[in-house]
Structure 1
Amino acid sequence: MHSADPLFLPFVRALKPTVRALLLAALAAGVGAPLPVAAQAAAVRHAFAVPAGPLDQAVVRFGRQAGVQFSVSGELTAGRSSVGVSGSYTVAEALARLLAGTGLEAVEANGEYTLRPAPARGEATLATVQVSAAEIRESAYGPVEGYRAERSGTATKTDTALRETPMAIQVVPQQVIKEQQATRLADVVQNVSSVRPGSTFGNRTDSYIVRGFQSSLVAWDGFISNQLFGNPGFVDMANIERIEVLKGPASMLYGLGDPGGLLNIVTKRPMREARYDLAFQAGSNEFQRVEADFNQPLNADGSLALRFNGASQNWGSDRDFLRRSHRDYAAPVLGWQIDDATRLVVEYEYMNQSQPFDRGLVASGDGVVGVSNRSYFGEKWSRFSLSGEQTRYVLEHKLDATWLLRHTGRYQESESHRLSADSRGLQANGRILNRRATDGRDDSRQWTAQFDAIGDFTDAYIGHKLLFGFEAGRAEKNTRVATAALAALDVFTPVRGAMPGVFGTPTVSEQEIIHRALYLQDQVWLGERWKLLLGLRYDDAEQNATTDGTRVSVSDGKLSPRFGVMYDLTDWAALYASYARSFKPVAEAAFDGSVFKPEMGKQGEVGVKFDLFERRLGLTFAAYELKRRNVTTADPVNTGFSVQTGEQRSRGLELDAVGELGGGWRVLASAAYTDAEITKDNTYAAGNRLPGVPLRSGSVWLKRQVEHGDWRGLGFGVGVFAAGERQGDLGNTFKVAGYARTDVSLSYQRDDWKLTVGVKNLFDRDYIEAPVSRTEIYPGASRTVLATLDIRL
């Protein structure tokens, strides 16, 4: 099963976690700090398509497209060339690109721009508005000022304005995560339309439902998690800069994946200035957490820096008889800004977690069994533990003003152990729950390497941003599972203390995915209003599965196209349409021994994006239809085998709003209509709704920050998170009621400290957060209070 590993893997695996962290610290001795986020020079954005060429001609074309006047000296521009500019930018941002490498800057006075030589560093300048190549806008890979992100790299793997991305993508920044005191990924995704919490697989890891389809895959800085099972454990919030949700199939950039969408976690990067932050949290159910975020430049100009994020968390539960949970997390980020054109970033993450194994409640009849949401059907010995680590690096080199080369790599490994009391369903009397004990161990590892070339240039009046890429990787998972008898439990009057019987012979399985891919993408600007996105990827994937000596191998190559188009109706409204596909190999064989085709996803989407109130508020409205094909379903003739005739379909409408309303008010709101159903299956009826997917759902979070007067520093927020009725399984044998949960927050900030007190589920409603099956139904938490003290040292 194991073919030759990359040269660096034996060395990496040989190091213990602590030694590895020290090595990384010594290796990089700092991280190339991302360019700082500057205030935007103007509120209005324009579409530019200025080709490279003589500077005097470029300036004339720029002035026409921007609608501004220039005073230009022929002697000053003689012999100088411009690299051009293409895309949607403010005048300041576009001028910075137009003048890059010319040694000139633009000075604005009374609405007219004048070119002049850029002053030497440190030289005094006139008190006028100046725009030079040093002007920097928000980065797609850095922090977001406020609630509304302007740019993202998730949908294109390039630094692109969200306004120019012809698909639905939403960004939840760190500020929202902190203000809502989110401690789980599920707390964050509830802010985005058509995204719901999914199964936790027994309180082990995160999953989510996007546009009707569940996925456990998460990307970290553009690297997809292990394709065999997703992230090995729960995501910790300590190192997160922003969480981005790309709706719909993402195989054109990320390869093997699920059709509904993808969550990409953008992690924190070092800064040029020193900063030391501590956070202390305490709350209901004995919740305790300490978090650190330290940034230390290692030389005078900050080009070498070290940032460390870490957390230790202990917490109980409102569920009866559930033991405490614990998690430790550490993430040093290291690197080197080698010169103006070359940057290296190295990041290491370590996590250790231990918590009770818990699949929640069970179904009875056509609803949830009539017990308290706090009921727990496991035993005290029922636990899950995990130890995992990953290393990522990014090496970038800018060849010239047009081309950027980027090489990235990731290695991840984890070990986990599960000793669990599993619910197996109620007996006919509706009160005695059959159970089984399971002893399972999982070992996994993954490596991925990517090589990209990005070209940003203009040809005549057509702007291009080209992406060429190659990717190769392997994901492995080895599992050993044994089961034993376990006494049944009366769910209404539970008596605990049962112990497992003798465990049987374990089932041993080994799985691996080996993939290689080539991809090409072109972002095109046609004049001032039209934008195109064209992409194509070819994946060559091999999936092998061996269970108790029986091996099934599937090899297939697939093309994943994607294209989109945008048209700017005005400076504040743009229409878009897009088409995308996904694929995922199926490591399973039919009765006749034939292998199955990859599972396919196809989506068509149209929408409109608005920039309102001088671009302080952004709105995205989307309509889509998404089909999932080649779904395996039970073979009606040969029991225990499958045939590939299943099909599922989701179509819906979405609205997301984010930004500032004025007067210190900020908003993050969403609404969704999701019609997700089975359209073809041998086991379940066509027309059955997909589990856990409400027809209607939505959220709104409002935050008011007092910025002036005697109450300056005071803030308060209120949020409502709602979902309609949901089916509990594919058979639609039971359903759970809808709910509306209210959260509130009160904060006060002064100088270098901030105190936040929040209440989740203010009215203590009983509700079901995620129904998965008749024996896996996750209740929402009861009212909880959480206080956070943030201190900057």
Structure 2
Amino acid sequence: MAHSFKPAKTALLLAVLFSATAMPMRPVHAQSTAEKTLPVVEVAAPMANGIINLDTPTTTGSRLGLTPRETPATVTVVDRATIDARGAEDTQEILKAIPGVSAHNAPGNITVRYRGFSGGSVSQLYNGIDLNYTIANRAVDSWIYDRVEAIGGPSSFLYGAGAVGGSINYITKIAQRDDVSEGRVRVGSEGLKEASIGLNRRIAGDDSGTPSHYLRIDLNDHHSDGWTDGTKTHSTQLATSLLSDFGRGLTHTLAYEYQNDVVDRPYWGTPLLNPIAGTLRIDDGTRFKNYNSADGIYKQRVQWLRSITDLQVNDALHFKNTFYAYDAQRDYRNVETYRFNADNTQVIRSGAFLQRHDQRVVGNRIDGTYKGELAGLRSDWSFGLDMALNKQTRFPKSLPGTVSTVDPYNFVTENFFDIPGMTPGFVPSMTNKVTTTALYVENRTSLLPALNLVTALRHERIDLNLINRGVVNASNPASYERSYNPTTGRVGLVWDITPNAMTYIQYATAADPPAGSLATASFANAITNTELTTGRQLEIGAKLDFWQGKGSATAAIYSIARKNIATQDPNNSALTILVGEQSAKGIDLSVGLQATRQWAVRADFTYVNAQYEDFRQGGVSLAGNTPTNIPATVANLWTSYAITPALQASMGIRRVGKVYADAANTMVWPSYTLLDLGLAYQINRNVSLIGRIRNATDKIYAANTSVSSTAASAYLGAPRTADVTLRITF
């Protein structure tokens, strides 16, 4: 069973790790084949954990193709080199490279927290497309992604409602005009076995001017036993695309992605010891226990299709049309909630859920950019129309009562359909249709050679249509429709103090649902929540290079207010009214150093004071309290050192501040620090070996806490694990 870090397995992995591992991130220059010595590796370019790249255009902070330095906002780019350097296994681990972000991957409650907000208040995009459903953001293996970009704070003006805390954009690898051949094999503790391959080739055309076609395929297959009893995971990711270059500025990319994720007996949490107050604790003897049904399951199958047409009309005018379709089916068959009895001698298991979600999203977005002049001043424009239909049908079947009470350490759980009253089969309850039509425009005008005004405006019409597929009664009508019409925007000034230093001030707005997601809205909250929330942010920041280009840094201070959130009606606790307010005030600091040709350092620190300004729960005002599971501080330090030209060591330290498990702020999970270690060895120009130890101190920590009348548990992070990776380019 997948318990603690087993001694034999540890010894084997450490022997490999510290005797012949790792991959320096510098180019390799091999000697001639006649020589029989090791290749010479030259540390030439900045290392992935070094200076911050502020001068590569991004697609997430602006549609104008601005670089992070030119954007009046905090923009973070986690490129492929950084993903590889830190060994980020999946999208959740990539998020650790975004300052201030914390996240967890519990199967039914996937959440990202950014600038004091979480859930539907942080947009997670896939190639610029928002699925508007947090559970759809299940962690995906990092192999198929080229980079992840993020913008902090309100950004609905770019991607639509649902981005008060920020937007995170996962960008998939697609076909390029070059040849790429790479592979990876990884093995590790807890039965980890993984194989990946990536190929990019020109399959037709030549340099004579005839149309050229480039094909890319990236495939990943992952097996692991998990670190809790009985948990097994098998996931497969495929990303393939065809780039067709027809000449005269016209190109087309057809991209398809397939993701299949199956988790047997998924882990849902570890019960907290009573009394549930003050500093929360678990019994160390239950750390690796899994209280789910013996045949519990989580499955997700996702398909993406994108058709992207680019037309460069001339040097000034460019059009891009993106048609996209998304299809997903998610299945759950689990007992999900656990708590200790009063004297901590038994674990009470409850919450049997049989669920299916069918979600489909179809949309089309047409973008244009124009580089011109306005009143004699250089003025660049971006504009577009976005239309999408998000349709989801849910098939819930639940038994909220107690399933069984078991010994915390020695127990056997039932097969799911042996639970009295639970039978196979899916019956639909409701279909949610969310239709969005949006117009947007963005502009950058050079008021002075060193002063730019950046503005943006987006207007949306969001139509929500609920269709009852169950029993019709007074509280659950046959159907219900509602429309929302948010207008959001940004205005910012960017001052280039020197060619290597800038400062900015920005005011931005956002909108999102008052509670939950429109994709899962019930009749009760759709009827009650008559308006979207409004978000406002004022941000002041600076970005600069220093130390003769060996260092870079960014800094920002911000204040965000989210109003119109759903809060309990003081006159009727069974109802909510839209008068609540939540705020977040904070600072973001990041610095990167290429101290020497061998040594690179990247560090960041964020502080946020998140609190309710006006919020009620259980008839009690919670004004001044911190929302649950929001850490005030998050800090990261990554450093890499080339011990020899072929041997490189790396270390990552992550510190996450304490969080409150309840809105009353009476329960606390303490702060924690994680240590990751890596060692890489470049065998030759094409082959490298990388070893890593994650959570090297075997710290017990909670990625999320959940306390209610039926559940009191912590979703723990993984214990110490180790893995070895063989990477090949050919």
Report the CA distance between 1:585 and its aligned residue.
3.9
1:215 to 119, 123, 142: 119
Partner of 1:347: 255
Cα gap change, 1:204 to 1:310, in 2 (>3 Å): farther
Cα gap change, 1:777 to 1:343, in 2 (>3 Å): same
User: Quick check: 1:267 aligned with 2:267?
Assistant: no
User: Quick check: 1:360 aligned with 2:269?
Assistant: yes
User: Quick check: 1:407 aligned with 2:321?
Assistant: yes
Indicate conservation of the 8 Å contact 1:232/1:388, yes or no.
Answer: no
| Cα distance between partner residues in 1 of 2:296 and 2:179 | 44
Matches within 5 A, 1:435-514: 435-459=350-374, 462-484=377-399, 486-490=402-406, 492-498=408-414, 499-503=418-422, 508-514=429-435
Indicate conservation of the 8 Å contact 2:64/2:442, yes or no.
Answer: no
SS of 1:178's equivalent in the other structure is: helix
| Cα distance between partner residues in 2 of 1:357 and 1:751 | 41
Matches within 5 A, 1:67-86: none
Structure 2 alignment gaps of length 5 or more: 1-26, 28-47, 515-520
Indicate conservation of the 8 Å contact 2:393/2:428, yes or no.
Answer: no
Partner of 2:183: 278
Indicate conservation of the 8 Å contact 1:170/1:246, yes or no.
Answer: yes
1:488-524 residue CA offsets vs partner (Å, 9 max, x unmatched): 3346334122342213896712112101011111012
Partner of 1:421: 335
1:176-227 residue CA offsets vs partner (Å, 9 max, x unmatched): 21122211222111122221114x3x42574310111113642122222x11
Indicate conservation of the 8 Å contact 2:509/2:537, yes or no.
Answer: yes
1:1-32 residue CA offsets vs partner (Å, 9 max, x unmatched): xxxxxxxxxxxxxxxxxxxxxxxxxxxxxxxx
| Cα distance between partner residues in 2 of 1:388 and 1:589 | 28
User: Quick check: 1:559 aligned with 2:559?
Assistant: no
Indicate conservation of the 8 Å contact 1:412/1:446, yes or no.
Answer: yes
| Cα distance between partner residues in 2 of 1:439 and 1:386 | 14
| Cα distance between partner residues in 1 of 2:496 and 2:572 | 56
User: Quick check: 1:527 aligned with 2:463?
Assistant: no
Cα gap change, 1:422 to 1:205, in 2 (>3 Å): closer
1:55-101 residue CA offsets vs partner (Å, 9 max, x unmatched): xxxxxxxxxxxxxxxxxxxxxxxxxxxxxxxxxxxxxxxxxxxxxxx
Indicate conservation of the 8 Å contact 1:179/1:745, yes or no.
Answer: no
Indicate conservation of the 8 Å contact 2:352/2:403, yes or no.
Answer: no
Indicate conservation of the 8 Å contact 1:474/1:512, yes or no.
Answer: yes
User: Quick check: 1:630 aligned with 2:564?
Assistant: yes
SS of 1:177's equivalent in the other structure is: helix
1:697-753 residue CA offsets vs partner (Å, 9 max, x unmatched): 2001111236xxxx3221111110001211113232411011111111100112111
Partner of 1:82: none
User: Quick check: 1:160 aligned with 2:66?
Assistant: yes
Report the CA distance between 1:273 and its aligned residue.
3.0
Partner of 1:570: 498
Partner of 2:35: none
Report the CA distance between 1:580 and its aligned residue.
1.2
| Cα distance between partner residues in 2 of 1:526 and 1:613 | 30
Partner of 2:512: 584
Counterpart residue identity of residue 206, structure 2: A
2:650 to 717, 721, 729: 717
Report the CA distance between 1:594 and its aligned residue.
5.5
Partner of 1:701: 638
Partner of 1:784: 721
Report the CA distance between 1:329 and its aligned residue.
0.9
Matches within 5 A, 1:387-406: 387-406=301-320
Structure 1 alignment gaps of length 5 or more: 1-38, 40-142
| Cα distance between partner residues in 2 of 1:592 and 1:285 | 44
Higher relative contact order, structure no. (Cα contacts within 8 Å, ≥ 6 residues apart): 2
SS of 2:83's equivalent in the other structure is: helix
1:649 to 580, 583, 603: 583
Aligned-residue RMSD, C-alpha:
2.5
Indicate conservation of the 8 Å contact 1:228/1:513, yes or no.
Answer: no
Partner of 2:696: 762
User: Quick check: 1:306 aligned with 2:215?
Assistant: yes
| Cα distance between partner residues in 1 of 2:420 and 2:53 | 55
| Cα distance between partner residues in 2 of 1:269 and 1:619 | 30
SS of 1:252's equivalent in the other structure is: helix
Cα gap change, 1:729 to 1:357, in 2 (>3 Å): farther
Counterpart residue identity of residue 727, structure 1: Y
| Cα distance between partner residues in 2 of 1:380 and 1:573 | 59
Indicate conservation of the 8 Å contact 1:691/1:772, yes or no.
Answer: no
Indicate conservation of the 8 Å contact 2:154/2:166, yes or no.
Answer: yes
Matches within 5 A, 1:361-376: 361-363=270-272, 364=274, 365-366=276-277, 367-372=279-284, 373-376=287-290
Cα gap change, 1:578 to 1:230, in 2 (>3 Å): farther
1:392-431 residue CA offsets vs partner (Å, 9 max, x unmatched): 1221111111110111121100112100112154444444
Report the CA distance between 1:639 and its aligned residue.
4.9
2:230 to 306, 309, 322: 322
| Cα distance between partner residues in 1 of 2:251 and 2:260 | 31
Aligned residues: 644
Partner of 1:88: none
Tell me the percent identity: 20
Cα gap change, 1:312 to 1:779, in 2 (>3 Å): same
Counterpart residue identity of residue 500, structure 1: I
Report the CA distance between 1:593 and its aligned residue.
5.5
Partner of 1:731: 664
SS of 1:413's equivalent in the other structure is: strand
| Cα distance between partner residues in 2 of 1:272 and 1:146 | 27
TM-score, normalized by length of structure 2? 0.84
| Cα distance between partner residues in 2 of 1:491 and 1:545 | 44
Report the CA distance between 1:769 and its aligned residue.
2.3
Indicate conservation of the 8 Å contact 1:191/1:668, yes or no.
Answer: no
Cα gap change, 1:491 to 1:451, in 2 (>3 Å): farther
SS of 1:193's equivalent in the other structure is: coil
| Cα distance between partner residues in 2 of 1:593 and 1:470 | 29
Indicate conservation of the 8 Å contact 2:607/2:633, yes or no.
Answer: yes
| Cα distance between partner residues in 2 of 1:702 and 1:193 | 16
Indicate conservation of the 8 Å contact 1:489/1:495, yes or no.
Answer: no
| Cα distance between partner residues in 1 of 2:528 and 2:670 | 42
SS of 1:160's equivalent in the other structure is: coil
Partner of 1:3: none
Partner of 1:85: none
Report the CA distance between 1:370 and its aligned residue.
2.8
Indicate conservation of the 8 Å contact 1:185/1:206, yes or no.
Answer: no
User: Quick check: 1:189 aligned with 2:95?
Assistant: yes
